[in-house]
Amino acid sequence: MARILNGVLAIVVGVGGAVVLYWLLNTMVERLPSKWEHRIKPYVFIGPAIAVLTLFLVYPAIRTFYVSFLDARSVNFVGVSNYQVVFTDPDIRSAVFNNILWIIFVPTFSVAIGLAVAVLSDRLTPLWEKVSKSVIFMPMAISMVGASTIWLFIYTWRPPGTAQIGLLNGIWTALGGQPQTWLNITSARLNSFLLMVILIWLQAGFAMVLLSAAIKNVPEETLEAARIDGASELQIFWRVTVPQIRSTIVVVTTTIVILVLKVFDIVYVMTGGRFETDLIAVRFIRELFQFREFGRAAAIVVVLIIATIPIMVFNIKQFREQEAQ
């Protein structure tokens, strides 16, 4: 009960405080001459947001960049040695390689599944279309920690001869196989692919919603013209529908790529980075809290930010092109 009251109090004070702040600022500006009121009022309303972003985003980013050139305790200047470790340490390189695998497979399968569901569900009756899309979208309401816990039970292993409470091992043993430690398999980084399934399961609904909206906005005239010309439904999909929703596909893909670069919860809950499943974000947490290497952790964050910026710029560019169309 105390936690609930604290949460309610925080919401009331936070929202109420923001309302009171803007009301006071607006009242003060309205007392100025009309000429100055119109000049200052936009900055008054955007000023608190800029101040918050500067305090909690810009300053920490600059501070992190500075700390990345210091030693483990952020005392002595060590130059680029932290970056040398980031690019030469075998464990960090393994985490980078895993991130690359995630970037390749997670967006690809998420968009493919979302696109398939969006296309096929549009052919159903309105009721079943809503039901199918709701089922696919439902995992989006689950946090990554919650989803990881669910899949942890799916991958759970018990010794042979005992009841298998894990869904996957239950099916596997029913088919005559031996129980497998699915998250501790040593063949070709299969562990990482088993973890990718969780994020694909979460993001397929996100891709489906946006792609379904884009497909519904495809002019029916272009589809009818293609059918009159004798094109098959498959040809219409690849040569008429997909080109017209290409910008949406790109935006969805790059958005998921940015999410993949920040993935932490899934790996931390499922394996903690063991069994060759480490990722950049997980490695950062380990360097910071386990090894107490503040400089090296900051260097990892800087590298991650630099890697994310081009994708974000490309995403914004594609979004603006889509809005213009």
State pLDDT tens for residues 65-96: 999 999 888 889 998 899 998 888 888 888 88
Please indicate whether residue 160 or residue 322 has the higher confidence score (pLDDT). Answer: 160
Predicted local confidence at residue 182, as pLDDT: 84
Q: For the chain, state the CA radius of gyration.
A: 25
pTM equals 0.80
pLDDT above 90 as % of the chain: 19
Domain residue spans in the chain? 2-67, 81-324
Mean pLDDT on 166-194: 82
pLDDT at residue number 185: 66
Mean of pLDDT over the chain:
87
Tell me the per-residue pLDDT of 229-274, one tens digit each, with 9 for 90 and over: 888 888 888 888 888 888 889 889 988 998 898 888 899 888 888 8
- Chain segment 199-228, per-residue pLDDT in tens: 999 999 999 999 998 898 888 888 889 888
Q: φ and ψ at 28, to 5 degrees?
A: -65, -40
Flag whether pLDDT at 184 surpasses 70: yes
The per-residue pLDDT for range 121-143, each reduced to its tens digit, is 888 888 888 888 888 888 888 88
DSSP-H helix ranges across the chain: 2-30, 34-53, 59-67, 81-88, 90-121, 126-137, 144-154, 167-174, 190-216, 220-228, 233-236, 242-244, 246-261, 265-270, 280-285, 294-324
Query: Is the model's pLDDT at 188 over the cut of 80?
Result: no
In sequence order, what DSSP letters do the residues of 228-270 get, joined into one string?
A: HTT--HHHHIIIIIHHHTHHHHHHHHHHHHHHHHT--HHHHHH
pLDDT at 114: 92
Going by the DSSP 8-state scheme, the letter that residue 293 receives in this structure is -
Q: What is the pLDDT at residue 127?
A: 86
Contact 295, 72 (CB under 8 A): yes
Distances in whole angstroms, Cα of residue 204 to Cα of each of 215, 286, 299: 16, 30, 32
Q: Which residue bears the tokens 């979208």?
A: 137
Mean pLDDT calculated for residue range 181-189: 71
Right CATH for 81-324 from 3.30.9.10, 1.10.3720.10, 1.10.10.60, 3.40.50.620: 1.10.3720.10
